[in-house]
Structures are given as structure tokens and as C-alpha cells.
Amino acid sequence: MLGADKCQYNNYGLHDFTSDGDITGIGHGGEKTTNYGTIRKSGGTGESRINTEFSNAKGTVEVQTGRITIGNPVDYDWHTNTLYAGTWRVEGSGMLVFFDGSLQTNKAHVVLNGSNAKICTTPGHTWAPTYIEQSLTANQGTLEVYGDRTFSNHLDNTGTLIIGAGTELTFTGGLTNSGILSPGNSPGYVTINGDFTQDASGELQIELGGLDPGTGYDVLNIEGTASLAGTLDVSLLSSLDPADIPDNYIFNILFADTITGDFDTVNLPSISEGNFEYFIDLNEGSDDIVNLRFHAVPIPGAVWLLGSGLFGLVAVRRRRNNIS
């Protein structure tokens, strides 16, 4: 509780609501809370309010349970319907509420961890929530989504969109990626219901960490048309030893009802054990598929003619790679 004469509360550590408490000004106005650390709600299934002017530009707000309501947020402008700054994380069935407007543009770092994690806006005088899935049209910051949900509008991503493993997202109006799209996080199998467009500025990031689709390496499944351009960036995780990849093994990394266009730039891992080949299968009557084929580098015949000592080194190294 903040007193009179424009008292200010600066949080540099952890302010944890372990029950349904509030941060409230009791003066004549001008009270302000500035968060440089973490404000968390870890207890109480009801509401905790921050009723002062509130800035979270350099901090984190985390809702693990119940609801945090921000009455006068500096970082959210209801005139432009934009969340400008800060990290806002909602877990499980928690809820984060801003007064007024409808959150249409995200320029902050937003994490929705769980299908029931909610961010919404509502008029200050009544409970009439508009959820982020109903209003969001542009992501210009970082948006992390873990758990299934449906977005009512077309989403333009010019920032970073991270989609958790096993997540199924529906974009009623489709998804356009002009920024970074990272499915899996990671790795994981991600389904997007709706058309997907990546333009020349977009980048799709795929990670290879094993041989099993969805658990070992990223798979993006588009239930619609995928229009491709921009960059495909493929990285090899330390969990996958190249020596364990069979020759001619194919990674199916993207499925779509129909694929049009192609990536302008394809960045593939560069390794001494072999090389990756990128190609698209256009299969009439079934899914079109973006593939990566691994070609193992065979041991040159001359190596086998060298001394037994060198042969032993090669054999041991390959045995270790197969075991690890």
C-alpha cells in the first residue's frame, strides 16, 4: 500500500503475491509502481490488483495462479491497443488483465504457457473480457505459445513467434511470417490450422536433435496452403551425433496441403561426416513435404590400406559415436 504525496514503489527483486493481496495507492494520485525485477502471483486463486500507475518495461510479471489486474499500465496503450514493453508470463490457468481497449499489437515479450493461460482486456467499470486470441493481429515483439489455442484474426508476425512442442494453433485468417518462426522449442511437432505465408523477410528455424519426427527434430504441419519465401535455417543440436544418422536418411520437416513458392535462402548444417540435401516433394492427392536428406561421407578406400594403428583410431571413433 502506497501513501500520499506521489509515493513511488520500485521493485528490484521478487515481489510475490502468495495470496490475493494488492498494490494500492491511498494518496491523492500520482502513486507509481516500477518493476525492474519480478512481480509474481504464486498463491491465491482470486485477484491481485496493481492499482497505481505501473511500469514493467524492464521487468517481468508472472501469473502462476489466479489473476493479476493492472489498472493503469504505462506499457499498454489502450488508444493504440498496443503492449509496448516488458515481459509478461502467464502459466497454467492464470490470467493477466489490462483495463480498456483490445490488445491488437504486441511489441513486448509475452509467454502463454498452457491452453488455459489467458491475457485479456476489459473495461474498468465492468467485466467484459476480450482475450488476446480474439484481438491480436500483429506480433512485433516476442510471442511464445505453449498449448493449443485459436486466434480469430489473421496474424502478421514481424517479431519472433515461438511455438511449443505438441502445440496446435488455429489462425482463422491465416499466418504471415515476416520475422522469425520457431516451432517446437525444442524439438517438437507443431500444427498450424490455416494458410501460412512466409515472405522474403521471414525466417523459419528448424532444429535437428534426433531421428524421430516431433521428438527428435522439428516438424511443422500446415493444415492449409504454405506459400514459401525468405529463409530456412536448419541447425544441428548436440543431442544428435552426425555419425548416428543413416546414409540417405530423410527428415520430413514441413507438411502442407499445398506448397507454393520456395525458400530464397536455405542454411544447412556444415559437418565433416556428410552433407544435407534440401528438396520439396509435390505429391498430387496428398501432402506436399519439405525434406532434408542426409548423405554420409564414405570412408575412402585408401584409408583401409593404411596401417592398423590408423584403422584402430577410425574404428574406435565410430564406435564411440554410435554409443553416444
Q: What is the largest CA-CA distance in the chain?
A: 90
Chain center to CA of 195:
18
Q: Can you give the pLDDT at residue 101? A: 86
Q: Are residues 182 and 103 in the same domain?
A: no
Q: Are residues 71 and 201 in the same domain?
A: no
Q: Are residues 125 and 38 in the same domain?
A: yes
Q: Are residues 6 and 77 in the same domain?
A: yes
Q: How far apart are CA 168 and CA 1, in angstroms?
A: 42
Q: How far apart are CA 214 and CA 221, in angstroms?
A: 10
Domain boundary among 136, 160, 183: 136
Q: How far apart are CA 41 and CA 62, in angstroms?
A: 6
Q: How far apart are CA 125 and CA 68, in angstroms?
A: 16
Q: Are residues 196 and 119 in the same domain?
A: no
Domain boundary among 136, 160, 195: 136
Q: How far apart are CA 145 and CA 136, in angstroms?
A: 13
Q: How far apart are CA 226 and CA 208, in angstroms?
A: 21
In a domain, 40, yes or no: yes
Residue recorded with cell 480474439: 134
Q: Give backbone dihedrals phi and psi of 132, rounded to 5 degrees, phi first.
A: -60, -35
Helix (H, G, I), strand (E, B) or coil at 83: strand
In a domain, 149, yes or no: no
The total number of structural domains that make up the chain:
2
In a domain, 141, yes or no: no
Q: Are residues 132 and 179 in the same domain?
A: no
Q: Are residues 72 and 196 in the same domain?
A: no
- Domain residue limits at 312: 175-324
In a domain, 144, yes or no: no
What's the whole-model pTM score?
0.88
Q: Are residues 54 and 179 in the same domain?
A: no
In a domain, 150, yes or no: no
pLDDT along the chain (324 residues), means of 10: 69 98 80 97 97 97 98 93 98 95 97 98 89 98 97 98 95 96 92 97 98 96 98 97 97 98 97 96 92 85 39 29 29
Q: How far apart are CA 206 and CA 221, in angstroms?
A: 13
- Cβ atoms of 210 and 245 closer than 8 Å: no
DSSP 300: P
- Cβ atoms of 213 and 181 closer than 8 Å: no
Domain boundary among 136, 156, 184: 136
Nearest CA among 318, 188, 202 for reference residue 265? 202
Q: Are residues 191 and 58 in the same domain?
A: no
Give, for 211, the enclosing helix (H) or strand (E): none
Q: Are residues 188 and 126 in the same domain?
A: no
In a domain, 165, yes or no: no
Q: Can you give the pLDDT at residue 316? A: 29
DSSP 78: T
Question: How many C-beta atoms lie closer than 10 Å to residue 40's C-beta?
Answer: 21
Q: Can you give the pLDDT at residue 320? A: 29
Q: Are residues 263 and 181 in the same domain?
A: yes
Tell me the three cell numbers of residue 13.
527483486
In a domain, 234, yes or no: yes
Q: What share of the chain is helix, strand, coil (3-state, %, to 5)?
A: 10, 50, 40
Q: Give backbone dihedrals phi and psi of 317, rounded to 5 degrees, phi first.
A: -60, -40
Residue recorded with cell 512485433: 140
Q: How far apart are CA 179 and CA 187, in angstroms?
A: 20
Strands 76-77 and 32-35: unpaired
DSSP secondary structure string, 231-294? EEEEEE-TTS-GGGSPTTEEEEEEEEEEEEE--SEEE---BTTEEEEEEEE--TTS-EEEEEEE
In a domain, 99, yes or no: yes
Q: Are residues 64 and 14 in the same domain?
A: yes
Q: Can you give the pLDDT at residue 307? A: 38
Strands 196-198 and 219-228: parallel
Q: Can you give the pLDDT at residue 300? A: 56
Q: Can you give the pLDDT at residue 5? A: 56
